[in-house]
Amino acid sequence: MAEAAIEVRDLTVAYREKPVLWDIDWTVPEGDLVAIAGPNGAGKTTLLKAIMDLLEPSAGQVRVLGQPYRDVQKEVGYVPQRGSVDWDFPTNVLDVVLMGLYGRLGWFRRPGQKEREEARAALRKVGIEDLANRQISELSGGQQQRTFLARALVQDATIYLMDEPFQGVDATTERAIIDLLRQLQREGKTVVVVHHDLQTLPEYFSSVLLLNVRRIAAGPVEEAFTDENLRRTYGGRISFIGAPQGETG
């Protein structure tokens, strides 16, 4: 039995007394490639942020690699939603990737030749090394996503938390990202991905957490990703529930 990479206990998060996450219990085993799925407003991003201690929970606790997040933050690579930043910021791709090393560099030190090499290597892994000096305002959606992935890769973390990395990217990038996720899994990394596309979910991921404020179901895709659970997660609002049936069965 693998150890727990992430352990969430009785987690409740509320904005203005309205619960966004309610009493979540969830364990991610080490080396798992797991998707978080659920309708809009289900608390998927909030869960990622609560794991990284970016917001204060009303109740409950989170352990990462058995410890408080603060003690293991170097082991966690975060890929925020692409739309969460201003891509008109005056900087280039390599510079954004270097930001992944700021925690390790420490105060007052600037990235040097060694760090630049590492950043280039990370860009190579996501297939955009040639864009290193490109202004970030000139990137396509897929290239923006690859830049963010490279920024997390350069951290050389053991756990990756990714918020909708497939959102609005072209088919080539989607292919490249899923290859990268599999590669990370082969290297023994734990990868948690907020994922919207129920059609591709069973193909891309080995485990799933179905979330709608409460935990609806969690576990290996074969067990948790059932019609019944999807209906309970999305209510009656989902029309293509039948489609992934063959893959889940």
Nearer to other proteins (CB atom), residue 87 or residue 217: 87
User: Strand ranges (DSSP E) for 131-204?
Assistant: 159-163, 190-194
Question: Shortest CA distance to 132 belongs to which of 149, 120, 142?
Answer: 120
DSSP output for 46-66: HHHHHHTTSS--SEEEEEETT
| 177 neighbors 166 (Cβ within 8 angstroms) | yes
Distance CA 89, CA 198 (A): 33
Map residues 52-91 to x or -, x wherever contact with other proteins holds by CB under 8 A.
Answer: xxx---------------x--xx-x-x-x---xxx--xxx
Determine how many CB atoms are found less than 10 A away from the CB of residue 104.
Answer: 14
> Closer CB to other proteins, residue 136 or residue 201?
136
Q: What is the dihedral of CA 226, 230, 232, 237, to 10 degrees?
A: -150
How many residues lie near other proteins (CB under 8 A)? 33
Say which amino acid occupies 59. A
With residue 180 as reference, give the H or E element that holds it.
helix 171-186
Beta strands in 197-243 (DSSP E): 207-212, 214-220
The distance of closest approach from Cβ of residue 241 to other proteins in the complex, given in angstroms and rounded to an integer, is 33
Q: How far is the CB of 171 from other proteins (least distance, A)?
A: 27
Residue ranges in 188-227 that form contacts with other proteins under rule CB under 8 A: none
Residue found by looking up tokens 């891509």 in the block: 87
Q: Smallest gap, in angstroms, from Cβ of residue 181 to other proteins? A: 19
Which one, 150 or 216, has the nearer CB to other proteins?
150
CB of 100 to other proteins, least distance (A): 8
Q: 34 forms bridges with which residues in the sheet?
A: 192, 207
Minimal distance in Å, beta carbon 198 to other proteins?
Answer: 27
Determine if 183 is a binding residue for other proteins (CB under 8 A). Answer: no
**Residue window 108-147: x/- pattern of binding to other proteins, with contact defined by CB under 8 A:** x-xx-----------------------x-x----------
Residue from 146, 151, 195, 215 touching other proteins (CB under 8 A): that is 151
Q: Of the two residues 70 and 237, which places its CB atom closer to other proteins in the complex?
A: 70
List residues binding other proteins (CB under 8 A): 15-16, 49, 52-54, 70, 73-74, 76, 78, 80, 84-86, 89-92, 96, 99-100, 102-103, 105, 107-108, 110-111, 135, 137, 151, 155
